[in-house]
Structure 1
């Protein structure tokens, strides 16, 4: 689902950028509420988790690959607005440092994976867990179903964005300027990969973590469900530190990340211009806009996470985790400073209190 530069028109990118700005603003406003709380490290860990899990490519029967995102899990635990911030940061670092997804296409990628996915997953989960206790088995399968539905909604959004390009942006003779795929091609290709493989992985991952937390740290499940009371047994149970558990998990995932290299082929719609099958799409040449914008950002640190080298793939995973976490902490620090400035201004504007 990482749309590279050149496949979407600049006009499309501008539209998604305009749509994402107020959503990021609202997300930052919501994150203000947790700036000085103990949940900021969890947002950072969630962003790092999303970064690493997207490195695990999964082979699809038609010869392409897909991957989970982790956005549904973050939304279920910390809320969809926090997930929007976390996944957006992960996507931005992927694009800037590793060339995974385009810079011009970043707003569209963020809309698909940092908005559509977590919000659909979260509200599906909430709907299915109404009146359920925190340790109810219903929360496990609701988390799995929510994440599955969210990922597929995200994939459908990307398919539509790809598929409308030839109809909206083309030459006088009908030759596409950007993505050459039509809806009749993009929707089956994207949905096959995510309905039968990637969505199942996303669901199993999310349901598994929810089941683990029901045994290891029930209060963590209550962050986003404060109306659900804890039983005496849940209160007395000594929870496992989520930060320590997450750090160990991230370390293991980073070390085994080269498993993502074993998937043959590439993801649908992520071909470089020179790899595009022109005959398949009845093209005489690479679309002009695709050729023009494909190298818009050429300053990546480790292109394609090292270009097939297993040790560079591991290095990319660790660099990504550190940078993503640092950006989250830096952003929340900045929000906290701005929030403190707003409070100081409010204090200065308020009249003195007479004793």
Structure 2
């Protein structure tokens, strides 16, 4: 659902860009509370994994494809504030390096693909886990529903922005119906990918799933015929909570997906491209400012072999995204540590 330049007029793009900047600023502050010794190393990896999976367009209807948006996945793994930052990093890398998503539309894309999906998914997830049994299956089910709903709501958010600042005169009702219809199908794919990924992490390291951290049931023991809470377990030493294996496994999976599997992705236009072509909202699409980038359209310039070109571009994208994302999140983590230290020193003075 990457919005190109020319879909939304300049005033609306500027206003949405300001709103996106404010959301990112709030997320930077909120991420200080979410990032700890477990999530800080993984947040950059989550961004890289989302980048990789977004290269895997899957068919959803005749002549239409879809791809992961990633807001739900990021929110549930590393938290909603950090999740907004993860998807924003991905969108920035895609727009600057790969000419995917307009630069003037970056605020629109961050708002629609990062902020809306993350907020909706996390809100739905938290509402569901409050009423469902506190089990892993419930977490997985809530993840599926949250991810599913986040995509058509995101499509509605784009339609609303287009109704305010669209550059062509179209019937918004028809656009809304088409956007929600196709993105509901895409949402099913999003839900499957998100729930499988979250479920896999839950199976091996449930402590790394932000959305499930407070869902653990206390262990019960039967004493004299009655169930009582078992004594609290001792904290697991930091060394035993190392994320190295998870990080390396996730990075390897991201590289394989972007460097190899992406070659077999659907070449059909995605949901937004299809609706735009069918309803004429793409009449004033502008060429991307970075259309001559060496990595434009997810290929390496001057590499003639399509498989090799796309694979190299995917690997480069994963590498750049994990480095950029890790840098951002480590900086936020250090800022939090510095704030805690200053508070401790002030309290002790």
Q: Which bracket does the TM-score occupy, shorter chain normalised?
A: 0.7 to 0.9
SS in 2 for 1:228: coil
Q: 1:194 aligns with which of 183, 198, 213?
A: 183
Find the counterpart in structure 2 of residue 250 from structure 1.
254
- Superposition RMSD in Å: 3.5
Between the aligned partners of 1:74 and 1:216, the Cα distance in structure 2 is 18
Residue 227, structure 1, aligned to residue 224, structure 2 = no
Contact 1:189–1:268, Cα closer than 8 Å, also in 2: no
Between the aligned partners of 1:194 and 1:211, the Cα distance in structure 2 is 23
Residue 216, structure 1, aligned to residue 221, structure 2 = no
Residue 79, structure 1, aligned to residue 84, structure 2 = no
Contact 1:77–1:224, Cα closer than 8 Å, also in 2: yes
**How far does residue 106 in structure 1 lie from its aligned partner after superposition?**
0.6
CA deviation string 1:21-61 (max 9, x = no partner): 22111111122235552311211111111111111222343
SS in 2 for 1:268: helix
Say if 1:326 and 1:180 are closer, same or farther in 2 by CA, change over 3 A.
farther
Contact 2:55–2:67, Cα closer than 8 Å, also in 1: yes
Find the counterpart in structure 1 of residue 91 from structure 2.
91
Find the counterpart in structure 1 of residue 296 from structure 2.
303
Q: 1:321 aligns with which of 318, 324, 343?
A: 318
Between the aligned partners of 2:150 and 2:23, the Cα distance in structure 1 is 18
SS in 1 for 2:5: coil
**How far does residue 127 in structure 1 lie from its aligned partner after superposition?**
1.0
CA deviation string 1:206-245 (max 9, x = no partner): 2222332342222223x34443335569x89999943233
Find the counterpart in structure 2 of residue 104 from structure 1.
104
Find the counterpart in structure 1 of residue 224 from structure 2.
none
Contact 1:76–1:224, Cα closer than 8 Å, also in 2: yes
SS in 2 for 1:65: strand
Between the aligned partners of 1:301 and 1:230, the Cα distance in structure 2 is 52
Q: 2:192 aligns with which of 196, 204, 211?
A: 204
CA deviation string 1:176-197 (max 9, x = no partner): xx2454313421332222112x
Deviates more, 1:84-93 or 1:311-320: 311-320
Between the aligned partners of 1:94 and 1:128, the Cα distance in structure 2 is 33
Contact 2:183–2:271, Cα closer than 8 Å, also in 1: no
SS in 2 for 1:130: helix
Unaligned runs of 5+ in 2: 221-232
Find the counterpart in structure 2 of residue 172 from structure 1.
none
Contact 1:36–1:336, Cα closer than 8 Å, also in 2: yes
Matches within 5 A, 1:110-129: 110-129=110-129
Say if 1:77 and 1:35 are closer, same or farther in 2 by CA, change over 3 A.
closer
Between the aligned partners of 2:344 and 2:140, the Cα distance in structure 1 is 46
Say if 1:54 and 1:338 are closer, same or farther in 2 by CA, change over 3 A.
same
Say if 1:227 and 1:313 are closer, same or farther in 2 by CA, change over 3 A.
same
Between the aligned partners of 2:332 and 2:48, the Cα distance in structure 1 is 20
Matches within 5 A, 1:130-169: 130=130, 135-166=135-166
SS in 2 for 1:205: helix
Say if 1:266 and 1:32 are closer, same or farther in 2 by CA, change over 3 A.
closer
Between the aligned partners of 1:300 and 1:271, the Cα distance in structure 2 is 27
**How far does residue 342 in structure 1 lie from its aligned partner after superposition?**
5.9
Aligned pair count reads: 327
CA deviation string 1:59-110 (max 9, x = no partner): 3435233212222111112211111000000011001011110111011101
Give the TM-score, by structure 2 length. Answer: 0.81
Give the TM-score, by structure 1 length. Answer: 0.79
Between the aligned partners of 2:252 and 2:134, the Cα distance in structure 1 is 25
Contact 1:162–1:186, Cα closer than 8 Å, also in 2: no
Find the counterpart in structure 2 of residue 174 from structure 1.
none
